[in-house]
């Protein structure tokens, strides 16, 4: 296998090895099982590489709620828009959040009406924008799970050290364990989890123990290349066939058992857990991260007083059931009829790694 231009990536995309692991899976997989991949990156990798074609028909892959854009609530978008309408505001955000529908509008539509919003690759760019625009107030829209929240934490600490008081965070950061526990508790259809590799790089293995030890689910922490994902499926199948449930790590080149302690420390210092609203799932206790009192000066929710439109949820939208693997996109009445990538109703269609968007674009 050649590394090509891209070491630690190309070797894990080799077609021959993919086919070999697929054959192994077919050989040992007897039971009808449902495996949930939680992370938007896994959903994307599976469909972009056509990996579902390599699995035997007794294995069903379900897509979970691990897409940060997909689960960003309507309320959060409304909040961002309300803040963005103040004249001195520059909103900054990661990628496709701008297309997510709020109750009335979206950030993209508001941009057309004059809100200043800039897309950044790193939250530190937002800090630089604040430094360069002292008369403005720069608000960063913080979405993402444990992989991404530490970046926001580190940036707030930098803002404090450098006394950049025109930088604010509007946090919609979330953590995975409460949502995973909800899925494991309520939904007996899920036999195993393909656990998110980069969340795990930050948190370590511990967050999944309850899933295997208490709820009897197979758990394998997986990387994002085709070989990683198929290898993880093989490991899950072995656990399930032998009924020995545990937390295993396929992604050993990146994930350590204890995770990234420095990032965890920053998270715990800058954020406190709170109840959070997940689009499609509703309120999940202790699953959100809000800015702690120590850093309240950078908390957009405390600095900007806004009133939000009444929250009404689109009728007929099945995002909740799709995000928990209970329904497929084709089961939703609105799918491809009313809800399309050009006119998304729910967040599953908005984000390019949303289940419905992928179903629409990639499936024959």
Partner 1 sequence: MKKLGQQISIHHGNGGVQTKALIEDLFIHFFENEFLENQSDSAVLPVTGKNIAFTTDSFVVDPIFFPGGNIGSLAICGTLNDLAVSGSNPLYLSVGFIIEEGFKISYLERIVRSMAKEANQAGVKIVTGDTKVVNSGKCDKVFINTSGIGLIEEKHVSISSGIRVKPGDKILLNGPPGEHGMAIMQARGIFNFKSNLKSDCVSLFPLINEILKVSDGISFLRDATRGGVATVVNEIARKCKVGVEIDETCLPVNPDVRVMCEILGFDQLYIANEGKVIVVVDASDAYHVLNSMRKIKTGRTTEIIGEISSDHKGKVVLRTKSGGKRILDELIGDQLPRIC
Partner 2 sequence: MCLGVPALVTQIKGNEATVRVGNVEYNSSLLLLNNVNTGDYILLHAGFAIEKIDRHEAEETLRLFNEISDLEKE
Applying CB under 8 A, the residues found at the interface with partner 2 are 1, 5-9, 11-12, 14, 16-17, 20-21, 23-24, 39-42, 66, 68, 94, 121-125, 144-148, 150-151, 154, 157-158, 196-199, 201-202, 224, 227-228, 231, 250, 252-256, 260, 262-263, 266
119 binds, among partner 2, partner 1, none (CB under 5 to 8 A by kind): partner 1
Among partner 1, partner 2, none, the one that 260 touches (CB under a kind-dependent 5 to 8 A) is: partner 2
Least Å distance, CB 341 to partner 1, is 4
Taking the complex as a whole, the smallest distance from the CB of residue 182 to partner 1 amounts, in Å, to 20
Closest by Cα among 285, 67, 269 to 152: 269
- φ, ψ of residue 147 to 5 degrees: the values are -70, -40
CB of residue 163 vs partner 2: minimum separation in angstroms? 17
How open is the CA angle 242-243-247, to the nearest 5 degrees?
105
Residue 34 binding partner per list partner 1, partner 2, none, with a CB distance cut-off of 5 to 8 Å that depends on partner kind = none
> Closer CB to partner 1, residue 233 or residue 240?
233
Task: List the single partner that 209 binds among partner 1, partner 2, none, CB under 5 to 8 Å by kind.
Answer: none
Rounded distance, CA 220 to CA 330, Å? 28
Enumerate the β-bridge partners of residue 203. none
Shortest Cβ 267–partner 2 spacing (Å): 10
**In what side-by-side order are the strands of the sheet with 89-93?**
117-119, 89-93, 137-142, 167-171
- Contact call for residues 93 and 119 (beta carbons, < 8 A): yes
Residue 250 CB, nearest approach to partner 2 (Å): 8
- We find the least distance from the C-beta atom of residue 39 to partner 1, in angstroms, to be 7
268 binds, among partner 1, partner 2, none (CB under 5 to 8 A by kind): none
**Shorter beta-carbon distance to partner 1: residue 15 or 312:** 15
CB atoms within 10 A of CB 265: 12
**78 vs 250 by CB, closer to partner 2:** 250
CA distances from 153 to 76, 142, 262, 291, 295 (A): 19, 10, 11, 9, 10
Nearer to partner 2 by C-beta: 224 or 360? 224
Q: How far is the CB of 232 from partner 2 (least distance, A)?
A: 11
Nearer to partner 2, 1 or 244 (CB): 1
Rounded Cα gap, residues 145 and 199, in angstroms: 7
Q: In whole angstroms, what is the distance from residue 70 CA to residue 84 CA?
A: 21
Residues 6 or more apart from 364 whose CB is under 8 A from it?
Answer: none
Partner touching 58 among partner 2, partner 1, none, CB below 5 to 8 Å by kind: none
Q: Rounded to the nearest whole angstrom, what is the least distance from the CB of residue 224 to partner 1 in the complex?
A: 10
Question: Where do runs of H (alpha helix) occur along 133-244?
Answer: 149-161, 177-186, 197-203, 209-213, 226-242
In sequence order, what are the residues at sequence separation of 6 or more whose Cβ sits closer than 8 angstroms to the Cβ of residue 311?
74, 75, 78, 103
The two tokens of residue 39 are 């992370």
Q: What is the DSSP letter of 224?
A: S
Q: Tell me how far apart the alpha carbons of residues 86 and 199 are, in angstroms, rounded to a whole number.
A: 34
283 binds, among partner 1, partner 2, none (CB under 5 to 8 A by kind): none
Interface residues with partner 1 (CB under 8 A) are 5-6, 9, 13-15, 18-19, 39-41, 44, 47-54, 66-69, 94-96, 98-99, 119-122, 125, 143-144, 147-148, 226, 341-342, 351-353, 360-364
* 3 state SS of 165: coil
């Amino acid at each position: 296998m050649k590394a090509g231009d891209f070491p630690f990536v190309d070797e894990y995309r080799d077609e021959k090895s993919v086919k070999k692991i697929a054959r192994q899976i077919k050989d040992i997989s007897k039971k009808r099982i449902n495996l949930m991949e939680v992370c938007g990156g896994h959903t994307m990798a599976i469909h972009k590489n056509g990996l579902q074609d390599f699995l035997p028909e007794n294995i069903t892959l379900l897509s979970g709620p691990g897409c940060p854009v997909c689960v960003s609530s309507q309320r959060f978008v409304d909040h961002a828009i309300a803040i963005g309408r103040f004249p001195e505001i520059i909103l900054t955000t990661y990628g496709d959040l701008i297309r997510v529908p709020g109750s009335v509008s979206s950030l993209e539509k508001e941009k057309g009406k004059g809100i200043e919003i800039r897309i950044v690759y790193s939250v530190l760019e937002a800090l630089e924008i604040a430094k360069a625009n002292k008369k403005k107030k720069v608000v960063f829209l913080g979405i993402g799970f444990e992989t991404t929240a530490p970046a926001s934490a580190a940036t707030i600490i930098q803002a404090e050290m450098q006394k950049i008081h025109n930088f604010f965070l509007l946090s919609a950061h979330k953590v995975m364990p409460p949502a995973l526990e909800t899925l494991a508790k309520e939904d007996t259809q899920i036999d195993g989890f393909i656990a998110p590799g980069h969340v795990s790089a930050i948190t370590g293995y511990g967050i999944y123990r309850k899933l295997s030890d208490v709820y009897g689910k197979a758990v394998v922490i997986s990387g994002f290349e085709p070989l990683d994902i198929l290898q993880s499926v093989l490991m899950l199948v072995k656990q399930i066939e032998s009924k020995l449930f545990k937390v295993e790590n396929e992604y050993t080149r990146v994930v350590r058992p204890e995770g990234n302690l420095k990032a965890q420390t920053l998270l715990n210092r800058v954020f406190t857990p709170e109840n959070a609203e997940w689009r499609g799932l509703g309120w999940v206790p202790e699953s959100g991260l809000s800015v702690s009192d120590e850093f309240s000066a950078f908390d957009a929710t405390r600095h900007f007083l806004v009133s939000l439109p009444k929250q009404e949820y689109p009728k007929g939208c099945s995002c909740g059931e799709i995000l928990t693997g209970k329904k497929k996109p084709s089961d939703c009445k609105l799918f491809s009829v009313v809800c399309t990538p050009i006119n998304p109703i729910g967040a599953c269609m908005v984000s390019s790694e949303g289940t419905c968007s992928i179903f629409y674009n990639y499936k024959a």
